[in-house]
A and B are shown apart, each in its own frame.
Chain A
Amino acid sequence: MPLFHHLFLPHHSNNQRAKLLHPSVLLLLIGLVVSTQVILSQVSRYYPAILGFASRIAPEEIIRLTNQERVNQGLPALAMNNFLNQAAARKAADMFARNYWAHVSPAGTQPWYFVTQAGYSYRYAGENLARDFSDPGSVVTAWMNSPTHRENLLSNRYQDIGVAVVDGTLEGRETTLVVQMFGTQLASVPAVSGQASFTVSAAVPSPVIQVSAPQMTASLTTPFDLTRIISFSILGILAVVLMIDVLVVNHRKIYRWTSKSLAHFIFIAMLIVAAATVIRGQIL
């Protein structure tokens, strides 16, 4: 109990301020956070089976949710196109092979290259990318929250859609990539619009391939989950200790020459709320 008072409450043993709020302990916590992140990086890099990645994303579900968003906006649903599925799968394979997270590869290959290579002759084409999401709903929500991705999802230029979800290692991390390709075939649009569009000659159609759902990895947990637990634990304990400090100091009328606990509390509380909104996954 004395240790508890010493660590978490203003007490004569800690100069009337919880030891947790002393600069020496704050510095120690900073060191612990940095060390933990370095260890997590090393473990997830060299032992992906321990801290790997597990996803439950079916391409069909991405398409269904995309169409649901379009229908909600009064737009026609997109038709799943196997050539675009194939283009998306090839793009994902290229990203893993060349180890990049971008629309354009380091070699300068544009997304449209994969579309035409798959045998889809397009008038309009678009691409959305996502990685590290755990479920399809989060992917589509993240795209809808981004103005540029939303524009692709809700564009009335597109008639077809293709999606690939592929597991692999990207930039040293176990990753699930989601590639979403949109398109309108050259033959589908009778009149050329005034908008800029891509026009390429149709290649010989390739055999249709099915893009399967990713395999589940047998990881115990993810680095994100562990980081989330650590971040919320430290921020939460700090917020509680600060609040107690404000109340106790006010109640006991303690005079101290320190920084203001209420200001720290406001700042930490805001970051807890901000951290609660961070979900796993990135979009591009």
Chain B
Amino acid sequence: MSQIVFEKDFSRHPLHYFTLLCIQLIGLWGIFWFSYSRTTQLTIVISMAVSYIIWGIIHHYEHHDLHLKIIYEYILVAVLAVLLFASLIIRS
């Protein structure tokens, strides 16, 4: 059962992970490009985090295992990561 679940995740939704990777890479490129503007960098990171949460919701919805607890986990990881990056930007 576990094998089926895990393989399903990659083989049935490879486009999902590819999309997430592309979105995050575009964001990363934006952060490099706007290295002179802290505000823009912060906006990009927040956009990356929001995209990542939306990705999680769509992915689990498609996977038929969407639950409020799962959305909460994505939000917590996103908030923690944004906080860590933002604190670095603010202190720089």
Bound Cα distance A275, B89 (Å): 8
**CB–CB B79/A255 < 8 A:** no
Chain B residues with CB below 8 A from A33, complex form: 80, 83-84, 87
- The B21-78 residues at the A interface (CB cut-off 8 A) are 21, 24-25, 27-28, 31-32, 35-38, 41, 45, 48-49, 52, 55-56, 59-60, 65, 67, 69-70, 72-74, 76-78
State how many angstroms separate the Cβ of A240 from the closest Cβ of chain B.
15
Residue on B with the closest CB to A17? Answer: B73
Interface majority SS (helix, strand, loop, mixed), chain A: helix
* Candidates A26, A228, A264, A282; contact of B38 at CB < 8 Å: A282
**CB–CB A34/B83 < 8 A:** yes
Given contacts A26-B77, A259-B56, A267-B24, whether A224 and B83 have CB atoms under 8 Å apart is no
* Candidates B2, B77, B78, B91; contact of A253 at CB < 8 Å: B2
- The A246-279 residues at the B interface (CB cut-off 8 A) are 249-250, 252-255, 257-260, 262-264, 266-268, 270-271, 273-275, 277-279
**CB–CB A132/B92 < 8 A:** yes
**CB–CB B83/A249 < 8 A:** no
Interface size class of B (residues with CB under 8 A): 35 or more
Residue on A with the closest CB to B89? Answer: A278
**CB–CB B56/A263 < 8 A:** yes
Chain B residues with CB below 8 A from A224, complex form: 88, 91-92
Whether a CB of chain A sits under 8 angstroms from the CB of B1 is yes
**CB–CB B59/A260 < 8 A:** yes
Bound Cα distance A230, B9 (Å): 33
**CB–CB B70/A258 < 8 A:** yes
Interface string of B5-31 (1 = CB under 8 A from A): 110010000000100110011011001
**CB–CB B76/A26 < 8 A:** yes
**CB–CB B17/A231 < 8 A:** no
How many residues of chain A get a CB closer than 8 Å to chain B's CBs? Answer: 52
State how many angstroms separate the Cβ of A176 from the closest Cβ of chain B.
13
Bound Cα distance A222, B88 (Å): 12
Bound Cα distance A145, B65 (Å): 45
**CB–CB A282/B92 < 8 A:** yes
**CB–CB B21/A231 < 8 A:** no
Bound Cα distance A250, B45 (Å): 30
State how many angstroms separate the Cβ of A254 from the closest Cβ of chain B.
6
Chain B residues with CB below 8 A from A230, complex form: 84, 87
State how many angstroms separate the Cβ of A134 from the closest Cβ of chain B.
11
Bound Cα distance A254, B32 (Å): 38
Bound Cα distance A263, B52 (Å): 8
State how many angstroms separate the Cβ of A158 from the closest Cβ of chain B.
20
Chain B residues with CB below 8 A from A223, complex form: 91
**CB–CB A231/B24 < 8 A:** no
* Candidates B5, B24, B56, B79; contact of A270 at CB < 8 Å: B24
**CB–CB A277/B36 < 8 A:** no
Chain A residues with CB below 8 A from B24, complex form: 266-267, 270
Among A252, A259, A268, the most chain B Cβ lie within 10 Å of the Cβ of A259
23 residue pairs from A and B, CB less than 8 Å apart: A23-B72, A33-B83, A34-B83, A146-B36, A224-B91, A224-B92, A227-B88, A231-B84, A249-B6, A253-B3, A257-B65, A259-B70, A263-B56, A266-B17, A268-B77, A270-B28, A271-B84, A271-B85, A274-B28, A274-B41, A277-B35, A278-B89, A282-B92
- Minimum-distance CB pairs A-B, first 6: A146-B36, A253-B2, A259-B73, A26-B76, A255-B2, A231-B84
